[in-house]
Amino acid sequence: MAQVIIFAPAHDIHASAVAWSLRRAGVEALVSSSLRQGSASRFAVLAGADGLHGWASDFQPAEVSAVWYRRPSRPGLSDQAELDRWFSAQQWALFQKNFLAVAHSTVPALWVNEPAASVAAESKLLQLRVAAEVGLDFPEALVTNDAGQVDQLIRRWGRVVFKTFQGHAWEDRATQRYYNTDVSVLDAASELPEAAIAFCPGIFQRYIEKQCDLRVTVIGERFFCARIERKSGGAYLDWRPAILDEDMDVQPFQLPPAVEARLRELMRRLGIVFGCIDLVMDGAGRLFFLEVNQQGQFLFIEKMLPALPLLQAASAMLAGGRTDYALDGRFTAGFEAYLDSADYQQALAAPIDEAPPTTIEPAVTD
């Protein structure tokens, strides 16, 4: 029987939904936040003249069709004595790092995505470099902590979008008010406090007067594209905080063949087989690449647009262990059916896993 391994915490809705879909079709799905499931986990990697051979008590590497490297974390050690935990945690973290660095040798399956490539693909600058190489249009960008450089961009482009590498939220303890980082537009009237900008680098990108956003979910060889805009007309500055907005309109969109071909080449060069790509369209219909999230959220698109069978596609690719999978009658239930399941309630009730994410050194990306 084929097995699928999913590295993700128990509260991850996407991991839970895909595991539910696989199990309904008779595919064994093992969900774990790390390589070590518990004190009963046993592993071995034999290195010899004929290469590496992996063994695990929790799964049979030769029977695994795919590994979804979604949201892995360092192995948990709550079952070990506190005085032993510091040293053991180091050893487990390094073992997992070694194991994942030779992913295809230890588990010869389809990796979604391959660990070293997934780490490298998180680089915004690498993405933009590759986008330029494959001929994708994108708004010029600058990563800096220098206010003078930002001022020059505003003078050159008129308006500039500022965003952080990663979202962040915090509480003002004095006022007990909550704040979060938002995408913002800077222009000639904007204050550019030198000390504040120098304190923390950010991403500054030429503002595009857009008519809509496009969210492209790439699942193997298949591209699923959705157009996002306001029902009342116009585009969002940032649609993510407005996912629950009743004014949000999501419709299917057919990518121009030339753009899709360039996006395929982008994915190939980044070495990833799954990703959520963000594009914007300006008033003239020109498409601009913004970024690709190699483990982005995608099922909210299916919830708003059930015609896009994203859950079925992800399940079919993992079960088959191939990027050129078929969408047949094996996986028929969609995301709405999952939301009515006991698995969804279990994921909602699962504690938030605070274990730090796992990382490995990226492979050479040139």
Tens-place pLDDT, residues 100-120:
999 989 999 999 999 999 999
**Mean of the pLDDT values across residues 235-243?**
85
Q: How far apart are CA 108 and CA 125, in angstroms?
A: 30
Cβ-based burial of 130 (10 A; exposed 0-12, middle 13-18, buried ≥19): buried
The answer to whether residues 358 and 72 touch, using CB atoms and an 8 Å cutoff, is: yes
Q: Over pLDDT 70: what percentage of the chain?
A: 95
The pLDDT of residue 363: 45
The pLDDT of residue 172: 74
Q: How many CB atoms lie within 10 A of CB 203?
A: 18
Instruction: Specify the DSSP class assigned to residue 347.
Output: H
pLDDT beyond 90 at 221: yes
Q: Note the pLDDT tens digit of each residue in 252-273.
A: 999 999 999 999 999 999 999 9
Closest CA to 333 of 352, 318, 314, 350: 314
pLDDT beyond 50 at 277: yes
**Mean of the pLDDT values across residues 226-231?**
94
Give me the domains of the chain, ranges plus CATH numbers: 3-119 (no CATH), 140-206 (3.30.1490), 209-326 (3.30.470.20)
Tell me the two tokens of residue 174.
């004095």
The CA distances from residue 140 to 19, 270, 277, in Å, are: 40, 20, 17
Could you tell me how many residues make up the chain? 366
**Mean of the pLDDT values across residues 158-163?**
91
SS3 state of residue 120: helix
The answer to whether residues 254 and 285 touch, using CB atoms and an 8 Å cutoff, is: no
pLDDT beyond 50 at 131: yes
DSSP assignments along 225-265, one per residue: EEEEEETTSS--S-SGGGTT-TTEEEEE----HHHHHHHHH
The pLDDT of residue 177: 76
Q: How far apart are CA 127 and CA 269, in angstroms?
A: 10
Q: Choose from 149-153, 168-172, 243-247, 353-357 the range with maximum mean pLDDT.
A: 149-153
The answer to whether residues 295 and 191 touch, using CB atoms and an 8 Å cutoff, is: no
Which residue(s) pair with 206 in the sheet? 160
Give me the chain's average pLDDT, please.
91
Q: How far apart are CA 49 and CA 32, in angstroms?
A: 32
Q: Note the pLDDT tens digit of each residue in 52-86.
A: 999 999 898 989 999 999 999 989 888 888 888 88
Quick one: pLDDT band at residue 19, thresholds 50, 70, 90? very high
End-to-end CA distance of the chain: 38
Return the higher-pLDDT residue of 191 and 178.
191
The answer to whether residues 76 and 34 touch, using CB atoms and an 8 Å cutoff, is: yes
Residue with tokens 């192995």: 75
- Which sign does the torsion angle of CA 122, 123, 128, 134 carry? negative
Instruction: Specify the DSSP class assigned to residue 71.
Output: S
Give the start-end residues of each E strand in the chain: 3-7, 28-32, 43-48, 51-56, 64-68, 110-112, 141-144, 160-163, 169-172, 177-180, 184-186, 202-206, 210-219, 222-230, 248-252, 274-282, 287-293
Cβ-based burial of 349 (10 A; exposed 0-12, middle 13-18, buried ≥19): exposed
Q: How far apart are CA 218 and CA 128, in angstroms?
A: 18
pLDDT beyond 50 at 159: yes
pLDDT beyond 90 at 281: yes
Return the higher-pLDDT residue of 165 and 90.
90
**Mean of the pLDDT values across residues 331-335?**
92
Closest CA to 8 of 35, 48, 46, 44: 35
The pLDDT of residue 364: 43
pLDDT beyond 80 at 178: no
Closest CA to 65 of 343, 325, 268, 261: 325
The pLDDT of residue 356: 61
The answer to whether residues 207 and 161 touch, using CB atoms and an 8 Å cutoff, is: yes
Q: Note the pLDDT tens digit of each residue in 289-332.
A: 999 999 999 999 999 999 999 999 999 999 999 999 999 888 98
Residue with tokens 């049979």: 60
Instruction: Specify the DSSP class assigned to residue 286.
Output: -
The answer to whether residues 311 and 13 touch, using CB atoms and an 8 Å cutoff, is: no
